[in-house]
Amino acid sequence: MRKTTLFFTTFVFFLVSSCIPSLHSIVNDENRMTDDRLIGDWKMEEDIFDDATINFEFSVESVDEEDRQEGIKMMKELEKEMKQMKFGSKKKYSSWKFERAAIITAKEDTTKSTVNKKVTTDATATFHGGAPSMVPENWTIIEKKELPFYVLTYKKSDDTKQYMKAELTKIKGELYIDFYPYREPDESRFGINSINAHTFAKVEIKEGKLLLHSFNLTEIEGLLKTKKIRLKHETITNATIEDGKIIYDDYMVLTASTEELRAFIAKYSDNEDLFDEAEELTANNEKNP
């Protein structure tokens, strides 16, 4: 019997993060909270597949729901097996530094030599929503007013650094964190084309460990596509250039409001299938419990 192929696709996935981007936060002024157990330096072992994509090709005879579910199951099992592979290489860690955001007033002391004397100039500036570690080394902090959220300095083992705004909230009695990136200003013609997004995760802080449970992208995408759950979203096509070739990938972006996102999380927070295995961060100094 001749095989009839109904679809042929290349499946690309990232083993490091399956966070779902959202246009809106899960936090607002009414439910924002602080938990300073978050403050300090943490580290997380980097996956050997960090930032790598793995391509799989499938050829199947039908596209019904049963086949789709079987495909998802296979991918989950394969992902777990690959994460457990040991290559004997030296462990690498990313660093996560959480600080309370603040309105910081600082003074720059500059001394310049002229022909006859030294001239000292004092310059004062205010940093809004920054963190103490972001103040330049040659500046002295003279006033600091803490704000009810945090700044995360995330640094990979290759010293690539990102700054994120991190906000905490509780939903159905459980702690969640919302990440939002700080970007360098881009005043180019197409700088406005890059739009930031939120990602969020369930949080546990205990025994010197910080556990982040991100939402399972594959599971939620499947439920949304089969309309088993309803949450406003759009499918976006992203174009990247690799080795001179343009690669197109589709990914899902949540467009639901803050209230709708919180209601969704509250309804399904007990469903373990909707969350990935926890990313484990360990305390990197004595500041953490």
Instruction: Give the Cα separation of 168 and 36 in Å (integer).
Output: 10
Q: What is the pLDDT of residue 218?
A: 84
Query: Residue 142: which of 110, 106, 101, 109 has the closest Cα?
Result: 106
Match 């929503």 to its residue by tokens: 129
> Is residue 272 within 8 Å of 218, Cβ to Cβ?
no
Q: What is the pLDDT of residue 87?
A: 47
Q: What is the pLDDT of residue 6?
A: 35
For the stretch 188-209, pLDDT in tens is: 888 888 889 999 999 999 888 9
Alpha helices in the chain (DSSP H): 65-83, 217-225, 258-268
The helix (H) or strand (E) run that includes residue 122 is strand 118-130
> Is residue 281 within 8 Å of 96, Cβ to Cβ?
yes
CA 187 to mean position of chain CA atoms: 25
Instruction: Give the Cα separation of 156 and 143 in Å (integer).
Output: 31
> Is residue 27 within 8 Å of 201, Cβ to Cβ?
no
Alpha helices in 201-244 (DSSP H): 217-225
Query: Residue 91: which of 23, 157, 34 has the closest Cα?
Result: 157
Q: Is 155 exposed, middle or buried (0-12, 13-18, 19+ CB in 10 A)?
A: middle
Radius of gyration (Cα) for the chain, nearest Å? 23
Instruction: Give the Cα separation of 54 and 49 in Å (integer).
Output: 9
Q: DSSP code of 135? A: S
Query: Residue 230: which of 197, 200, 255 has the closest Cα?
Result: 255
Tokens of 133: 């570690």
pLDDT lower than 50: segments of the chain:
1-17, 48-54, 56-61, 86-88, 286-289
Q: CA distances (Å), 230 to each of 215, 268, 269, in order?
A: 16, 12, 15
What predicted TM-score, i.e. pTM, was given to this entire model?
Answer: 0.76
Query: Residue 258: which of 183, 203, 178 has the closest Cα?
Result: 178
Q: CA distances (Å), 49 to each of 16, 17, 53, 200, in order?
A: 7, 11, 8, 22
Q: What is the pLDDT of residue 228?
A: 87
Tokens of 58: 């499938």
Q: What is the pLDDT of residue 120?
A: 57
Q: What is the pLDDT of residue 152?
A: 96
Q: Which residues pair with 278 in a beta bridge?
A: none
Instruction: Give the Cα separation of 200 and 203 in Å (integer).
Output: 9
